[in-house]
A and B are shown apart, each in its own frame.
Chain A
Amino acid sequence: MRLLRSPSILRFTALGVAGAFIGVGCLDESMLPNAERRAIPQEARQQAPEKIVNSAPLPAGQYGVQSVNYDDATGSYKMFLLDTPAGAKPMFQSNDVRMARIDDESLTQGKKSYVEFAADGAPTLYLTPDFQIAYTHNVTEEQVDPATGQREVVVVRQETSSWSPFMSAMAGAAIGNMLFAPRYYFPPPYTPGMMSGYGGSGMTQTMASQQYAQRFGSEPQASRISKTGVAPRRASADSIRSTGRGAGASKFSKPSGGGFRKPTRSFGFGRRR
C-alpha cells in the first residue's frame, strides 16, 4: 500500500506531467482540444519563482530516480529519489546538475535512471533514453514593479510539457562517447508537447549556454534570468494556481526502480489535455 499526499514532502509531488498521456476514446464535440493556455491579465500576474535554494546534497552514492521536473525560469531540476537514507528527504532540488545517458551495456542489464552524488556533493543524473523529464515552461516578461519602480522578471504564464534529453540524438551531437560522459545540458527551445534532445551542452554551464546561443541566437531563458534575478513568488490571490490539497493510497503493485511506463494494450477514455 502506498500513501500519497501533497504538499510535496513525501515522494510524490505537485508536478505537471501533461503531454505524456493522450485520451483517444470517445471525443465529445463539447470537449475541444485546449493546448493553448489563456494569458493571465496584468492584474493577476504571478511573480516569477523565488531564488532557487539548492538542497543539501545526499551522501555519496547512487539513488534511483522516480521523477524529475525541470523549470526553465531557474534551470533547476527537482527530483524525487528512491531509497534515500533515513532522515534525508526524498526530494532534491538543484540548478547545478550534470546529466548523462546510461550506456547500452547497462541498459541491457536493466539499469534504471538514477542520480549519483559525488564525494564533493555534485549530483549527476544518469538517465535511460526514454526517461521523460517533466518540463515546467515559464513565459516571462520584464515588468516594472509598481512598488519599487525596478524592472523585474515576472512569470505571466506557465505550461507543463515533457523533455527527453536522450531520446534521439540531435544531428551532429552524438560523437563518440559524448552522450555518456556527464555534461551540463540545456533543453531545446520550448515547444508544447514532447521535446527530445537538447539545445546546448558543455562541460560547464557557461559552455552549454554558449553552445545553445550559437545554435539559436540567444542564451537559454534560465541563463538570462539567473543573471538578472527573479522576483519572489507569492502564493496569493495573484497566483495562476490556487492552493489545494490531496492525498491518496494505492495497493497496485509497482515495478521496483520506477522508470518509464510501457504503453500496453491501453486506451484512454474521455478527453484530456
Chain B
Amino acid sequence: MGLFSRKRYAVATLMVAVDGRLKALLPALADATERIIESEDMDVASEQVARIAGALLEYESRLTAVASWGQVFTREEDAGLYGDEVFAECAGRYLSSGLEADDEDDSLARAALPPPSHEGGSDRTGSDRPGSDRTGSGQASSRALASLDLEGTHIVVMLTVGYEGTVPELEKTVSTRDDVAAALSAIRALHHKQALALAHIHYAPGHSNEVLTDDQLLVNYPELVTL
C-alpha cells in the first residue's frame, strides 16, 4: 500500500535577473510583497507569486539571466523545513531594510516612484498607490532619481513555490528563454489549480531609488546563467 500511494512534495526556486532599466517592475514587486505581508494569507501569497510570474512573462524580452534549484521530498514536514531554509538563504543574498514596522519602508517605496524619462514631476499616471501623498516627497525623489543611471544595473526576482506531485517544467535545469517561459507558466498554472502549498517572493534592490550593480549580481547570485 505504501509503495503506490507514496506522496511527493517539491520545493523549487526560480531566480531571474532583469534589465535594471525596467522601471515598472520594482513597484509591482513592492506591491505584491506588501499584500502578502498585510494579508498573512496563503491564497494571497499564491496569487501574488502568480501575478509576478505573469509580469515576468510579459517582460520576457527584458530577462537577462536565470537559475533554478529545488528538492523533492516524501515527507511534507521535510518540505516545510526546507522551504523555511530556502527563504532564509534567499533573504541572505540582500540587505533587508531591518525596520520594525512596514510603514517607514513602504512610504519610502511609494515616494520613490521612478520618474518619467523626460522630466521629474508630481503629475504621474500609472503605477501609483491610491491615496499616497507624492507631492512634496515625489518632487524631491524625482530629482534624485532623474540622476540615477540604471544602465548596467539589474533587478533580481526569486520565486519559490511548493507543491505536491510533479511539475517537470520546474524540476529541470532551466537555461533557455523557452525554459524560463515554461517555468513561469507552470507557476501560474499551479496557482490557478490552487495547488501551491508554498509561495515566496524575494527581490532586489529593495527600493526604486536603489540599484543592484554588476559586482553585487556576480557575488550574491553566482548561479545565474546568461540567457
* Chain A proximity of B92: nearest CB distance (Å): 4
A243 touches B207 (CB 8 A): yes
**B78 contacts across to A, CB distance below 8 A:** 261-262, 264, 266
Query: Is A53 on the interface with B (CB-CB < 8 A)?
Result: no
* Chain B proximity of A46: nearest CB distance (Å): 10
**B69 contacts across to A, CB distance below 8 A:** 21, 23, 268-272
Select one of A25, A37, A243 contacting B206, CB under 8 A: A243
Q: Is the interface of B mostly helix, strand, loop or mixed?
A: mixed
Select one of B9, B96, B172, B222 contacting A34, CB under 8 A: B222
Select one of B67, B72, B90 contacting A267, CB under 8 A: B72
Select one of A17, A38, A240, A269 contacting B88, CB under 8 A: A17
Select one of B81, B105, B201 contacting A254, CB under 8 A: B81
Select one of B71, B83, B89 contacting A17, CB under 8 A: B89
B84 touches A12 (CB 8 A): yes
**Interface residue ranges of A1-45 to B (CB < 8 Å):** 1-9, 12-18, 20-21, 23, 25-28, 30-31, 34, 37-38, 40-41, 44
A244 touches B205 (CB 8 A): yes
Max chain A CB contacts within 10 Å: which of B33, B37, B77, B87?
B87
Q: A48 CA to B31 CA in the complex, in Å?
A: 32
Query: Is B135 on the interface with A (CB-CB < 8 A)?
Result: no
Query: Is A258 on the interface with B (CB-CB < 8 A)?
Result: yes
Q: Is the interface of A mostly helix, strand, loop or mixed?
A: loop
**B71 contacts across to A, CB distance below 8 A:** 21, 266-269
A245 touches B216 (CB 8 A): no
Additional A-B contact list (12), CB under 8 Å, known A12-B87, A243-B206, A261-B85 = A5-B33, A30-B225, A38-B218, A242-B211, A242-B213, A244-B204, A245-B29, A250-B198, A251-B197, A255-B80, A269-B173, A271-B173
A–B Cβ pairs within 8 angstroms, 28 of them: A5-B36, A6-B202, A14-B88, A14-B92, A14-B94, A15-B88, A15-B89, A16-B93, A17-B88, A27-B173, A30-B225, A31-B225, A38-B215, A41-B215, A160-B92, A239-B95, A241-B95, A244-B94, A244-B156, A244-B202, A244-B203, A245-B29, A246-B201, A246-B202, A249-B44, A252-B197, A267-B72, A273-B222
